[in-house]
Structures are given as C-alpha cells and as structure tokens.
Structure 1
C-alpha cells in the first residue's frame, strides 16, 4: 500500500472536558479531508464522577490553587450539555465546509475502551494529550513523528499514513513476532521505551492491536511526553 492509496473508513475521536477540544477536532477534520472517512466524535461523560456527586459530602479540590468546592451532579450534567452544544457547533464549522460526514454522541468511557479493543479495519483512533496536534497543513507536531509498525494490514496502513505525513519519519518494527499470540520480548520493549523517551515524538503512529498489548506501559509514557497518538485499525 502506497501513501496515495491510503483511504480511511472512519476517524474516531474521544473528547472530554479537560482536553483541547478545538485542536483535537482540527486534527481529526484535517485527517478526514485528506484520507477520507466519516468523523465520529465521542464526548466522554464522567459517569463515575457524576455518580459520586450524588453524595452530600462529595467535593473537588483544585490542586494548583488549593480550592475546595462541593460536587454538584446537576451542574456537571448542564456543563456536559453546554460542552456538547459547543462541540456540535465547532464540528459544523470545521467539517461541513469540507463536506466531511460526521457524528457526535455522548458516551461512557467504557464505550471508547470497547472501540480501542476492536476498532475495525480502516479505522483511525485519535488520542490527544495537552493540546498537541497536527496543524491543518499536516505538518508535524513539535518533536516529530515516530512510527511503530508490523507486517499486518493495520501495520501497512500505519506505514502508509506515516509516509504520507513525513516520508523521513523515524520508525521501528514491532519488537516481537508477526503473530498476535506471542508478546514482545521484555528487553525489546525496554529499548523501545528508551527510544521514545529520548526522541520525545510529538506524534506516534502504530497499529491499535499493538497499542493494546503495551497499553499499560505506553499510556503513562505518552501522557508524560504529551504526545498525539494515531491508532490504526
């Protein structure tokens, strides 16, 4: 598969109140306009926090300022409704001029985790952190792009996407066998993590199945690196 042949079926984007919603939407719309596919945004409801707010003693603390205030379930629900309306307006402004089909739903985090487990062929899942994203020109986020690939169909699609974004991107083959049954060698995983810490990529592309295998060690590192992650199904 060469870069011009890459076509996506859908781009999945998870949004929450604490994320950089405008930049995440900009990234997803830019990818959809270049590689096709329907944009499906999921606004993640903080169900556990809302349930906790039902208790009269529940409160939240702002760590930077040391302020404490009671949690209010009605206020949290209204805030989610307000955010949903704002996201819908932004999607209309960004996606409609490019004729990109899109949808928006309020979902539980468990639904997003289910998509991570089985995204489907031709799907791209966008994970963003701290507002880092690809610019509308698809130039790279600070730190450059890093590709982790294997020889599966998703791995080849990940390669095609990475080459389209940056033909000279740094890349590494998956530190394990081609089969999904055998986990990668621990030493190889440690070397991979060292490379990511050293290079500090702004964008990481890899097959979704491989991300799931190393999610426990990749997730905290990605959060520290404030890296955008593109998971290919």
Structure 2
C-alpha cells in the first residue's frame, strides 16, 4: 500500500515552450513544457534550468508537487538536453530563437538544405551554412558563435552534474567561473569552498574526490 511519505523521484521529457520567470543570480526558473500528450495543456516546471532555451527538448529528473496557486508542477533537480532527431523537431528547435541569427524563416531554409544532418553541420562544419540561400558570411559567423556559447554552458552543466554537483550548485559555480568552471573544478576544487556561496569544505572535498584529487593533496 502506498504511503504519503517522501515524494518519489520521477523523469519527465518534453519541449520547453516558454520561460515565464528566471532569476539570473540563482538560475531558478519557472517554465512551461509541452510533454506531447496531445491535450494541449502545458506543464509548469520549476528549478535550476540554466542554459535551457525555448524549443529545446529536455529530459528532466525531479519530483512532482502542487502549488496552492498554480496547481500541479514538476520540480527539476537535474536536466539534460535531448537534441531533436526529426525534420519537424529540428525546424522547431532552430526556429525557437535559441540561436542568435536564426528565426523561423532562416530555420526553414537551413533544414530544407541540410535535412536531418542540420545539427551535425552546425556543430562540425558551421561554415557550410553559407550554402543556404540568404545566409551571408556575417550571419553564418554569428550563428556559429551563438551555437558555441550555448554548447559551452551545457558542457559545464553536464560535467558538474557528472561529478555529483546538484544543478543549483552548478549554476552558482558557472556564475562565478563561466567558461573556466571545468578547469577550476578539475584542478582547484577546494577554491569552491572559498569562492562559491553554499559550498563548504565537505562539499568541496567530495567534489575533489570525484575528480580524482586525494584528501591530502596540497593545492597550488
């Protein structure tokens, strides 16, 4: 028989439709997600969603709950981006405004030209975007830079979650060190205790062990 004790962890997948609130300092976000169940209703999700953008497909781990004013909602503890694999999904993903320089019309042209290989082209051969009618060198360069910026944020978040850092703490680390986050965590994890609010010595020590630095290792 089920009890009314601790709420069990759950996984939800869906497309991020819009962000209704975001705190730049903490990363705390309130967003609406389409879970694709056909009802037309959007799910409210809350939590640290730094780097997530409308149009992205997300796989979110967390817990179900209820807000007295807003009703049923999902609290996100960790998430990862699941890149779309279909033509329709890629078109929607790129046309969402996620990447600077790409709107719905440009997204249509790019997907028309490269098909299901579109995201691979942007990732590996962004200069090929100039093949698309209406895309000049300036816009091609802008798109490539915007893609790299988004990718850098996600790489940091994935790495931090991989060494046992919660999403909320990962947000604080990223806000402090930006692109240097992975380097600091790998090479100087004990700096976190001094530099990042909410991280004490024990947490820094656990992170140090996760990245392979022994207890008694002197830091430079």
Q: For the superposition of Structure 1 and Structure 2, which TM-score range results when normalised by the shorter chain?
A: under 0.3
Q: TM-score, normalised by structure 2?
A: 0.23
Q: TM-score, normalised by structure 1?
A: 0.22
Higher relative contact order (CA 8 A, sep 6+): 1
Q: Tell which structure's C-alpha radius of gyration is larger.
A: 2
